[in-house]
A and B are shown apart, each in its own frame.
Chain A
Amino acid sequence: MNERNDEERLRLLESFAENRDPAVRNAIVESFAPLAQYFANRYRDRGVEMADLSQVAQLGLVKAVDRFDLEQGVQFSTFAGRTIDGELKRHFRDSTWSMRVPRSLKELSIEIRQLADQRSVDLGRPPTVAELATASGYDVDRILEALDVQTAYRAQSIDRPAVGSDDGSSTVASTLGQDEAGFEQMELRDAVQSLLDTLADREREIIELRFFDDLSQSEIAERMNMSQMHVSRLLRKTFDQLRATMR
């Protein structure tokens, strides 16, 4: 960071403090992107994909820009560094307890999901666990464990504490605004439409088929010409994406 860049950054921060212009915020974020990447790199090779780390660090940077107070007399890079690091640590804390899955179980999960796809074709409906046990030779408990693995990879729930809410008083969910019990389907659709708009066409179609047209994973797989396992994987990936969007 040279002197001129520091001056430009300071002007951007002052401008953002004054008018909260999203374009200025984007310029600040872009300017400090290497800082976010630096902190993301510190957590490399610890079981979380680099792309996820980079995304978490970027979100931390955005939070830092939003919260930074020039009058506190702290350098923005210092403040942002702490915020980004906190964000990354929180991500690890929230995710690692659900991610310690032995490799053998991951491999078995893939095997069982593939077998389930095949048996779905053979039977004309999704198989039961007992049917998978018979077909694979594994016992029912082992198959249930294997089927759970994909869920175990879900890093976070939207009901987890929101970033910056160390006392747990606000959640990711609360960023959507409060709701009333017993939402009607159409109201619900309107409420999450803005989130769905952030998805790629295929992912959005899968979510809509599953949650608004009430199709099963197998029915979606058939309609979209892909395996049930792939639909399952895309659903979970899309949930994670929606959760990240809501932060």
Chain B
Amino acid sequence: MTTSSKSEPFMVRFPARPGYLRLSRLNAATFASGLGFDVDALDDLRLAVDEAVTWLLRDEDAGGSVQLELSEVAGGLHLVGRRIASTLPDRPLDDLVHAIFGATTDSYDTATESGERRVTLTKSLDPTVAAS
């Protein structure tokens, strides 16, 4: 695990097991809190991270690991989640997860290719909070 000051990138890697879901939420919320996200935005982020990491963790039998990278982008947070395993089937997101991502993030993307499942999320800091 790499720790850093609030504006430096943060990376954590853990076994692809559901027990680490909470760790993912807490890490993302801690990083976002350091950027000044308010409690509403943190709630949204937790929802998004929950769905993102749950999607990464699908096909638990395939093993491997999950890596989360959090970084600050202009006015917000950028998250890249990767599940790395030898074989991972393509798992399209369902309608409700699209809706949750759409509502809780500014942009998102998912992809599966050659042993890697990847999700990226960006979320802006509310300008009224940033200014306070």
Residues of A whose CB lies within 8 Å of any CB of B are: 97-98, 116, 123, 125-130, 132, 140-141, 144-145, 147-148, 151-152, 154, 157-160, 167-168, 171, 173-174, 176, 178-179, 181, 183, 185, 188, 191-192, 195, 210-212, 214, 216-218, 228, 232, 242, 246
Contact = CB atoms under 8 A, between A and B. Distances in A.
A145 B40 contact: no
Contacts of A132: 39
B2 interface: no
A97 B126 CA distance: 33
Most buried by A among B37, B95, B97: B95
B57 to A, nearest CB: 8
A123 to B, nearest CB: 8
B102 interface: yes
Contacts of B102: 183, 185, 188, 211
Contacts of A127: 38-39
B54 A145 contact: no
Interface residues of B, number: 44
Interface in B79-132: 91-100, 102-103, 110, 126, 128-129, 132
A212 B102 CA distance: 9
A144 B26 contact: yes
Dominant SS at the B interface? helix
A154 B129 contact: no
A147 B39 contact: yes
A211 B39 contact: no
Contact of B98 (A147, A152, A174, A188): A188
Contacts of A128: 33, 36-39, 129
A171 B89 CA distance: 13
Contacts of B46: 147-148, 151
Given A144-B26, A148-B22, A168-B59, A126 B40 contact: yes
B29 interface: yes
B60 interface: yes
